[in-house]
Amino acid sequence: TVFGFFGVAAGRRVTSQKPGASTKTYHCFYSTALHCTSGVSFPAELRVYSPFNDSVLPDNTVAPVIAKAHFPGGIPKENVLLKASHVIPLPGDPSSDTYENSLPDSPYPFVAGLGSVPSRTETLADGVSKGFTVVSSDFVRDSMKS
C-alpha cells in the first residue's frame, strides 16, 4: 500500500464492462510520479473508481491518495501501477500561482507492505543508504501482481 500526497495530470475517464455483465464501471486514470528522498522519481499511472456522473480532476491537482501498488521490473520504462481506494483533491485552483502555498509539505509517499526479502542488502550510490529487494503479492488492477 502506498499513501501520500500526489499531483495528478492528464486525467481521462474510461468506461468498462465485463463480458456478460449488464452494468458499466467507470474509472479515472491519471499520470503522476512517486518521488523518493534520494531524488529519484518513478512515473506512475493512478486508477480510481469514478461514479457515473463524476468528472476528471484538473491538471496539477494535489490529493492525498491511498492505493495498492505494483512496481514492475521494467521501472523506469514502465509505469508504477496505482489502484487507489481514496483520492481526495485538496481545495483550491491548481492553475493558480498560489495553489501550492496552502499544500502540506510532504513530497514523499509512504510504502507499507508484507513480503519476503530474498537477497542481502546492498549499499546504494550515496555510499550510506542500504537497499534490498522485497517480494510481495497483491490483487492490483484485476489480477494478482508480484
Q: Quote the pLDDT of residue 141.
A: 66
Tell whether 19 is covered by a domain. yes
Enumerate residues 6+ apart whose C-beta is below 8 A from 106. 4, 5
* Secondary structure E strands in the chain: 2-16, 25-35, 41-49, 61-70, 80-87, 110-111, 122-123, 130-131, 138-140, 143-145
Tell whether 97 is covered by a domain. yes
* Mean pLDDT, the chain, integer: 89
Q: Write the pLDDT tens digit of every residue in 1-42.
A: 899 999 999 999 999 988 888 899 999 999 999 998 888 899
Asked whether residue 57 carries a pLDDT value surpassing 90, the answer given is yes
Q: Quote the pLDDT of residue 146.
A: 66
Identity of residue 104 = P
The mean pLDDT value for 61-65 works out to 97
Tell whether 116 is covered by a domain. no
Q: Which domain holds residue 35?
A: 2-107
**Helix, strand, or coil here: 96?**
coil
Tell whether 131 is covered by a domain. no
Top pLDDT among 123 and 8 is at: 8
Tell whether 118 is covered by a domain. no
For the chain, what is the domain count? Answer: 1
Tell whether 127 is covered by a domain. no
* Backbone φ and ψ of 18, nearest 5°: -70, 145
Tell whether 96 is covered by a domain. yes
Asked whether residue 144 carries a pLDDT value surpassing 80, the answer given is no
Q: Quote the pLDDT of residue 13.
A: 96
Q: Quote the pLDDT of residue 5.
A: 97
CATH code (residue 67): 2.40.50.1040
Tell whether 136 is covered by a domain. no
